Amino acid sequence: MNSGRLEAFSDGVFAVAITLLALDLAVPHPGGPHHPSLTDQLSEHWPSFAAYLVSFLTIGIIWVNHHTLFNNIAHIDRPLLFLNLLMLFFVVSIPFVTTTFADYLRDGGFQASVAGAIYNGVFAGMGVSFALLFWWTIRHEHLKTALPPGAILTAVIRFGIGNVAYLAAVGVAFASPAAALLMSGLVAVYYVFEQTPRRNGPRGDPTTGDEQPQP
């Protein structure tokens, strides 16, 4: 059993979830007499755009990592299918938690904190289930190319940084929901730049930077 269909199904879910994000940007149709202008609506809508950006980037990065991980997987088994399904469960939830967070962030207060905690909680769930996927593939020797111990340690540290940051953001949301959104945005930016060839240096091929699963 190769990983072709697992990847196709996952790609479909990633693609639908990332595209549905933009549905939530919709501004109410004009028409009523006291209808706010588009410019007013867009400037009031900033939390929607900020949350859209962070969620888009986060789904994009998890797709890049999923792609890189499965590139090195020789065969899959049933537990792997279900661990992947667990991760997709969190991906599918992202459009919902993004809209909810954006809506309540505008109002502020305790409800915005709850929405922010749920938002970062879903990201933490996605991160942890991706780490489980990675752990299962190492543990059961599914990889085409075995990873050197150094690479595994590096991966564990990286997973740790993201997941600890998401969990911390759940707590931060109760002090400042906007700061919690900023934190998940910074995690996304970190994962974009962490993997560039230049910094990968000794761990991979400096030209392509994709010889190893890069979690």
CB atoms < 10 A from the CB of 149, how many?
A: 8
Rounded distance, CA 119 to CA 100, Å?
8
Asked if residue 169 lies in contact with residue 178, where contact means CB atoms within 8 angstroms, the answer is no
**Which of 29/149 has CB closer to a second copy?**
29
Cα 207 from Cα 215, distance rounded (Å): 18
Least gap, CB of 36 to a second copy (angstroms): 10
Q: Is 93 in the site for a second copy (CB under 8 A)?
A: yes
The nearest distance, CB 166 to a second copy, in angstroms, is 19
**By CB under 8 A, what part of segment 2-31 binds a second copy?**
5-9, 11-23, 25-27, 29-30
- Specify the amino acid at residue 96: F
Looking at the Cβ atoms of 120 and 195, the one nearer to a second copy is 195
Interaction between residue 197 and a second copy (CB under 8 A) = yes
Kindly tell me the burial class for residue 203, based on how many C-beta atoms sit within 10 Å of its own C-beta (0-12, 13-18, 19 or more).
middle
Q: Which is nearer to a second copy, 15 or 146 (CB)?
A: 15
Tell me, by CB under 8 A, how many residues bind a second copy: 68
CB 120 to a second copy: min, Å: 15
| Closer Cβ to a second copy, 75 or 175, answer by number | 75
Q: How far apart are CA 126 and CA 138, in angstroms?
A: 19
- The residue (of 12 and 150) whose beta carbon lies closer to a second copy is 12
In the complex, minimum distance from the CB of residue 200 to a second copy, in angstroms, rounded to a whole number: 9
Residue choice 50, 92, 167, 168 for contact with a second copy (CB under 8 A): 92
**145/28 Cα distance (integer angstroms):** 52
Q: Can you give the binding site for a second copy, defined by CB under 8 A?
A: 1, 5-9, 11-23, 25-27, 29-30, 37-39, 42, 56, 60, 63-64, 67-68, 70-71, 75-79, 81-82, 85, 88-89, 92-93, 95-96, 99-100, 103-104, 106-107, 111, 114-115, 192, 195-197, 207-210, 214
